[in-house]
Chains A and B, each alone.
Chain A
């Protein structure tokens, strides 16, 4: 699909400078940049780096669990692996990659030249990056340095009283706390930037009701960050006070409550899932219409459903705590609240299906991953309903069924849609198309590996295999399932390596993309690929939700229907 825009193209003359900058200059340029596109790309690159690290940890765990009575890694190392894997994937892959896409796309989509606070943007990135560095610095050093040479091993939710000084000596837990506290500051900074950019930097005519759905959803996501990350920050401050000043917030010996930590953690933890998945809904809302060649179905319903999800997700946290014994009143409330959230998510799924329905579907790699997302998100939602009902959860809480469920969300939905977003926006970011051939291999291998791993993972959970277990006896009947799960993990690794290879190869050898390779409708496709540092030579003006449609079809513009 080549560009068929009927309007005259303008040439951008400022980018063609003849002198080649030295490597040092380029490095200086990136380290000191306040350009939202460069910061966005740094966020994405940083997240990809940690994705590889977290994936490597997953592979080590799968080797350990592939056969019974295995001693591939030590029990201590295994505890560190699942803690670091979870912490890395949530805080140093999920958050930065989504902030990266948001940073890159939001100003382009609303016709702005940068974020509202470019320097705050750079600060937020670097402090978040420092958080990741601090977390992994825990692996370095020696036990002689007050136990500094040990990575955190308290699990990614770090339940009290395991984190107390008495049970977690040395500094491993401090690394965990500080890394999350610091990266949380970065998240708040970026979220402030996103809200201020969306509300205050829109180009003329870009009313709230005309914003691309991606921008709308990022607005809701950023608002959620304020009320999601902040409780975690507060809880981490309390934990630090407990560990360093001897206060008693989570110290049961002095009357403190370990359950309070659970509440504080999950007040963060559940909405965090939605903070992570809302941006992937945002991607779906841009990508599915373009490859179905139809305008998105039910724009107002999508916005309303997003806002509803934002609110409802704040009141469901204790469905992670049914086994604590909260009493029938609280259990019932949190079951019902959890069920309620399937209404707005159901609305979204039906809207996407209605968008595809009757459309002229282009099965690009991007669209394939989007369809995988739709299907797998539905399945993840269904097991979510199962776990959301308290009696069922009493049976399966803390089993591999739970692990399978949330990996279905995080990999099957979020990662699939992220891959889709990479195939869709890579041409804009680099000026080159990703190879469709490699993309097809990536997609099919990943689908096979994903389903082999995570479909089957439900079964040992039902058979009673607890999560975070180091090894198991041969007579439990879990071996065949675990072996197959581990095989699936290997296939996913191969697929991911193909993807990484594609990213690198296409950067140099991929077909040149042009400004608008997908014949799309939002403003980011109206500028060059990659865009110049000022984004738009002239600030655009819009009069409908699909400004490029209006340009390409002046005989039948969208603005006639608003």
Chain B
């Protein structure tokens, strides 16, 4: 009953397969990108279609500083991965701390921007189509930043405790892929919301 044929395994040829962590993250990024595309399409479709004010031109200003912070955090996380790869613990903690700090600054600027928009300009998600699409798109991106920051903070914690050894470098690399994606999305959001939409 429990018969099974045995297929011999000839180990002469080399057999290399891609890392499942990186493939899995690439797939997740593809799926997330599709979600962002729909929100961006909605944003572009509704540019200039609000029936009432305020308009983007009235209330939005270019978040240059926040953008610089977020984009440089892509560099710092890359350096952190390199540091973990060669086993330099202090250096990796330092770069991870810098990444978390830069991401934190970005989030704070977003929070301040929203605070002003809501209390100074009276723009909420219910005000008009601009408010609807702006808060949902920027909010969706900010949610991803928060998730990334939580994961990076854990990585920093592990690094400070000395648990982040070279054998974990691939995991940190997977996380850094996610972070690069979040940054890349910001470039698109920036162009659509603050350049094209204004």
Contact = CB atoms under 8 A, between A and B. Distances in A.
B146 to A, nearest CB: 16
B13 A526 contact: no
A229 B129 CA distance: 25
Interface string A204-238: 11000000000000000011011101110111011
Contact of A247 (B2, B11, B36, B136): B136
Interface residues of A, number: 72
A362 to B, nearest CB: 21
A8 interface: yes
A234 B34 CA distance: 8
A46 B7 CA distance: 34
B132 A192 contact: no
Contacts of B36: 234
A117 B22 CA distance: 12
Interface stretch (A136-144, A195-203, A397-405, A407-415): A195-203
A163 to B, nearest CB: 16
B184 to A, nearest CB: 17
Contact of A254 (B6, B27, B51): B51
Contacts of A547: 7
Given A238-B136, A538-B6, A117 B129 contact: no
B2 A526 contact: no
A199 B17 contact: yes
Contacts of B132: 241, 247-249, 254, 256
B4 A200 contact: no
Interface stretch (B38-46, B70-78, B92-100): B38-46
A204 B31 contact: no
Contacts of B38: 230-231, 234-235, 264, 267
A542 B13 CA distance: 11
Interface in A162-202: 188, 191-193, 195-197, 199-202
A75 interface: no
Given A230-B31, A541-B7, A260 B42 contact: yes
Given A204-B13, A255-B129, A230 B34 contact: yes
A157 B15 CA distance: 47
B9 A200 contact: no
A226 B30 contact: yes
Interface string B1-35: 11111111111010101111001100110111111
B49 interface: yes
Interface stretch (A9-17, A33-41, A472-480, A498-506): A9-17
B89 to A, nearest CB: 28
Given A245-B125, A255-B50, A9 B3 contact: yes
Given A9-B3, A226-B31, A514-B3, A117 B20 contact: yes
B23 A226 contact: no
Contacts of B51: 254-255
A134 interface: no
Residue in A222, A260, A431, A547 whose Cβ sees the most chain B Cβ within 10 Å: A260
Contacts of B23: 116, 195-196, 199-200
Given A116-B20, A188-B31, A551 B15 contact: no
A229 B32 CA distance: 10
Contacts of A540: 6-9
A548 interface: yes
Contacts of A196: 20, 23-24, 27
Interface in B112-138: 125-126, 128-129, 131-133, 135-136
A10 B17 contact: no
Interface in A491-544: 512, 514-516, 523, 526-528, 537-543
What is the interface residue range for chain B against chain A?
35 or more
A16 B4 CA distance: 15
A548 B20 contact: no
Nearest to B10: A541
A255 B49 contact: yes
Contact of A199 (B15, B18, B140): B18
A248 B124 CA distance: 11
Nearest to B21: A196
A551 B17 contact: no
A257 B125 CA distance: 16
Contacts of A267: 38
A74 interface: no
Interface string A394-434: 00000000000000000000000000000000000001000
A200 B6 contact: no
A227 B30 contact: yes
A9 B132 CA distance: 66
A8 B42 CA distance: 63
A145 interface: no
A241 B136 contact: yes
A7 interface: yes
B6 A12 contact: no
A110 to B, nearest CB: 11
A117 to B, nearest CB: 6
A5 interface: yes
Count chain B CB atoms within 10 A of each CB in A193, A195, A523, A547 and give the residue with the most. A195
B189 to A, nearest CB: 14
Contact of B3 (A3, A117, A257): A3
Contact of A192 (B10, B27, B35, B133): B27
B60 to A, nearest CB: 18
A107 to B, nearest CB: 13
A192 B9 contact: no
Interface string B41-61: 010011001110000000000
A9 B129 contact: no
Contact of A201 (B17, B49, B128): B17
Contacts of B129: 248, 254-256
Nearest to B32: A230
Nearest to B11: A204
A147 interface: no
Interface of A: 3, 5, 7-12, 15-16, 111, 116-117, 188, 191-193, 195-197, 199-205, 222-223, 225-227, 229-231, 233-235, 237-238, 241, 245-249, 254-257, 260, 264, 267, 431, 512, 514-516, 523, 526-528, 537-543, 547-548, 551
25 contacts: A9-B3, A9-B5, A11-B3, A191-B27, A192-B28, A199-B17, A200-B19, A201-B17, A203-B9, A223-B30, A225-B31, A230-B31, A230-B32, A230-B34, A233-B35, A234-B38, A247-B136, A254-B51, A256-B129, A257-B45, A257-B46, A528-B1, A537-B4, A541-B8, A551-B7
Interface of B: 1-11, 13, 15, 17-20, 23-24, 27-28, 30-39, 42, 45-46, 49-51, 125-126, 128-129, 131-133, 135-136, 140
Given A7-B6, A227-B34, A234-B35, 10 more contacts: A12-B4, A199-B23, A222-B27, A225-B31, A230-B31, A233-B35, A234-B39, A249-B136, A255-B129, A256-B132
